[in-house]
Amino acid sequence: MIPVKGYRGAKVAVLGLGRSGLATAAALRAGGAEPLLWDDSPEARAGAEAEGFTLTDLTRNTAFEGLACLVTSPGIPHLYPAPHPVIARALQAGVPVDNDIGLFFQSAADSSWAEMETPPKVIAVTGSNGKSTTTALIHHILQVAGRPTQMAGNIGTGVLSIAPPQDGEVIVLELSSYQTELARALTPDVAVFTNLSPDHLDRHGGMGGYFAAKARLFTLGGPDRAVIGVDEAEGRFLAGQLGQGPQDDRVIRISSGTKLEDFGWSVFARKGFLAEWRKGRQVASIDLREVKGLPGAHNHQNACAAYAACRALGLAPKLIEGALHSFAGLPHRSQLVGERGGVRFVNDSKATNVDSAAKALQAFPRIRWIAGGLGKEGGIAALRPLLGPVVKAYLIGHSARDFALQLGETPHELCETMDRAVARAAAEAEPGEVVLLAPAAASFDQYPNFEKRGEDFTARVQALIGPGA
- For residue 221, what pLDDT is reported? 83
User: What would the mean pLDDT of 35-48 be, rounded to a whole number?
Assistant: 94
Categorize the per-residue pLDDT at 377 as very low, low, confident or very high, splitting at 50, 70 and 90. confident
Between CA 268 and CA 278 the distance in angstroms is 12
132 appears as a binding residue in the annotation: yes
Between CA 40 and CA 15 the distance in angstroms is 9
C-alpha closest to that of 228 among 210, 247, 255: 255
- For residue 330, what pLDDT is reported? 85
The DSSP secondary structure of 385-429, one letter per residue, reads GG-TTEEEEEEESTTHHHHHHTSTTS-EEEEESHHHHHHHHHHH-
**CATH of the structural domain 11-98, one choice from 3.50.30.30, 3.40.50.300, 3.90.870.10, 3.40.50.720:** 3.40.50.720
Between CA 91 and CA 83 the distance in angstroms is 10
User: What would the mean pLDDT of 89-117 be, rounded to a whole number?
Assistant: 93
User: What would the mean pLDDT of 297-310 be, rounded to a whole number?
Assistant: 96
335-464 placed in CATH 3.10.110.10: no
User: What would the mean pLDDT of 342-371 be, rounded to a whole number?
Assistant: 94
Instruction: Report the predicted TM-score, pTM, of the whole model to 2 decimal places.
Output: 0.89
- For residue 319, what pLDDT is reported? 98
User: What would the mean pLDDT of 199-219 be, rounded to a whole number?
Assistant: 93
- For residue 313, what pLDDT is reported? 97
Question: Is the torsion defined by CA of 152, 156, 160, 164 positive or negative?
Answer: negative
- CATH 3.40.50.720 intervals, the chain: 11-98
pLDDT above 70 coverage of the chain, percent: 99
128 appears as a binding residue in the annotation: yes
- For residue 42, what pLDDT is reported? 94
The answer, yes or no, to whether residue 467 has pLDDT greater than 80, is no
C-alpha closest to that of 326 among 368, 371, 364, 293: 293
User: What would the mean pLDDT of 210-227 be, rounded to a whole number?
Assistant: 95
User: What would the mean pLDDT of 375-379 be, rounded to a whole number?
Assistant: 89
**Residue 439 contacts residue 453 (beta carbons within 8 Å):** yes
- For residue 468, what pLDDT is reported? 55
Helices then strands, each counted (H, E), the chain: 15, 20
- For residue 469, what pLDDT is reported? 55
Compute the mean pLDDT over every residue in the chain, rounded to the nearest whole number.
94
**Residue 146 contacts residue 165 (beta carbons within 8 Å):** no
- 183's CB contacts (< 8 A; 6+ apart) are 98, 99, 101, 102, 105, 216, 220
- For residue 328, what pLDDT is reported? 85
- For residue 449, what pLDDT is reported? 94
Between the alpha carbon of residue 14 and those of residues 57, 190, 375, the distances in Å are 11, 29, 36
Between CA 223 and CA 207 the distance in angstroms is 24
The DSSP secondary structure of 339-377, one letter per residue, reads EETTEEEEE-TT--SHHHHHHHHTS-SSEEEEEESBPPT
User: What would the mean pLDDT of 263-273 be, rounded to a whole number?
Assistant: 97
The answer, yes or no, to whether residue 206 has pLDDT greater than 80, is yes
The pair phi, psi for residue 458, each rounded to 5°, is: -60, -45
- CATH 3.40.1190.10 intervals, the chain: 105-325
- CATH 3.90.190.20 intervals, the chain: 335-464
Which CATH superfamily, name and number, covers 105-325? Mur-like, catalytic domain (3.40.1190.10)
**For the sheet containing 367-372, what is the strand order?**
335-340, 343-347, 434-437, 367-372, 390-396, 412-416
133 appears as a binding residue in the annotation: yes
The answer, yes or no, to whether residue 289 has pLDDT greater than 60, is yes
Tens-digit pLDDT profile for residues 306-343: 999 999 999 999 999 999 999 988 889 889 999 999 99
Residue 322's H or E segment, with its range, is helix 317-325
- For residue 426, what pLDDT is reported? 97
Strands 281-287 and 335-340: what pairing? unpaired
Between CA 101 and CA 107 the distance in angstroms is 10
The answer, yes or no, to whether residue 156 has pLDDT greater than 80, is no
The pair phi, psi for residue 391, each rounded to 5°, is: -70, -40
- Start-to-end CA distance of the chain, whole Å, equals 40
User: What would the mean pLDDT of 167-176 be, rounded to a whole number?
Assistant: 97
